[in-house]
Structure 1
Amino acid sequence: MDLILTVIIACEIGFWIFVLLGLLARYVLRRRRTGIVLLAMTPVVDLVLLTAVIIHLQAGGAASFFHGLAALYLGVSVAYGHKMVTWADERFAHRFAHGPAPVRRYGSDYAKGTWKDVARTGIAVGITAGILWLLMNLVADPSRTHALHGIYPILGIWFLIDLIWAISYTLWPRRAPSAMT
């Protein structure tokens, strides 16, 4: 298995371990500060991944698709990380602290959420593109970074799909289950 792919998998697992431990500390053990510290460690996982990629390339390694995937992971983590942690926090609060049940959105409210996701995706695409550019310029050897160029079309397709998704739910809003019958 490619070294960078292994690091990506380890970082993804690490991200969710910190989220899980943070939420367990917060809601099950009632250690709010400990929970906050553990949740605050999730960006450290991103720094570990970015550092590993830079070290690998600076040591003479050739960039592969997985280096581009690492950049994509970092973009998604920065743009969507807070939303993912909030999603998990709502469910933990409901399950372990008698918080309100997570609310499913419908209609124009759901469409607004999809447009917020388009903005998040735009941020993720921009961050990913920036990291790819940074890596290519740090290495400064096109023969070793050629594989990174293949990520740009993926970013465009991803953004386009998210945009179409938002447009479709704006034109045809998601109906509440009781309204479907």
Structure 2
Amino acid sequence: MNFIAWTIIACEIGFWIVILLGLFTRYVLKREKLGFLFLALTPVIDLTLLLVTAADLYNGATATQVHAIAAIYLGVSIAFGKSMIRWADERFVYYIQKQGPKPVRKTGLAHARHSMKGSLQHVVAFLIGAAFLMAMTYFINDPSRSEALSETLKLWALVLGIDLAISLSYFIWPRPDKSKRS
């Protein structure tokens, strides 16, 4: 595995570590401002990945799927970051603090809307990631060194289309509420 792949793994681990530190500091240590500071570090992790990836390509590396995954990671982190933190926050409060309402499994129209919201966030992630991929392609300015980026973008567009189709299907065939079955 190359340096960029290890950097992506480190950034993902770092992302969840700062979230857990933020939640632990906020709820267990009762230090809300310090907890917020930890949570605010998540964009710094994204910036680190962006700088490492850009430096690698600037220094002549041929773009690989790993470089493309860095762009995907950045798009997903920016588009889904706040909702991932909210998701972790709700579960931390309920399962660790033993407070607040239990997270509920959505069904029916509520699930369809929630799924579509996630798909629309995926569209935002795609647009951000695609912008990074196209910028990398532009700055590399050598199709033989940037082919992996355009191939990854095509695959991601297919995945996005499937995600949207699945979300739309929930409006036609809603997720049943298993608790109401006899």
Q: Confirm or deny a common fold (TM above 0.5).
A: yes
Residue by residue, what CA displacement relative to the aligned partner does 1:61-101 show, whole Å, maximum 9, x if unpaired?
Answer: 11111000111111111111111111000011123161221
Q: Is 1:79 aligned to residue 79 of structure 2?
A: yes
Q: TM-score, with normalisation over the residues of structure 1?
A: 0.96
**Matches of 2:99 and 2:164, distance apart in 1:** 36
SS of residue matched to 1:127: helix
- State the 4+ residue runs in structure 1 displaced beyond 2 angstroms: 178-181
After TM superposition, the structure 1 = structure 2 runs for residues 1-181 of structure 1, keeping only pairs within 5 Å, are 1-94=1-94, 95-96=96-97, 98-181=99-182
Alignment: residue pair count: 181
SS of residue matched to 1:39: helix
**Matches of 2:86 and 2:142, distance apart in 1:** 41
Q: Which amino acid aligns with 1:113?
A: H
Q: Which amino acid aligns with 2:105?
A: R
SS of residue matched to 1:57: helix
Q: Which amino acid aligns with 2:10?
A: A
**Matches of 2:161 and 2:145, distance apart in 1:** 29
Please say if residues 27 and 97 of structure 1, whose CA atoms lie closer than 8 Å, have aligned partners that are also in contact.
no
CA RMSD of aligned residues (A): 1.2
Q: CA deviation at 1:103?
A: 2.2
Q: TM-score, with normalisation over the residues of structure 2?
A: 0.95
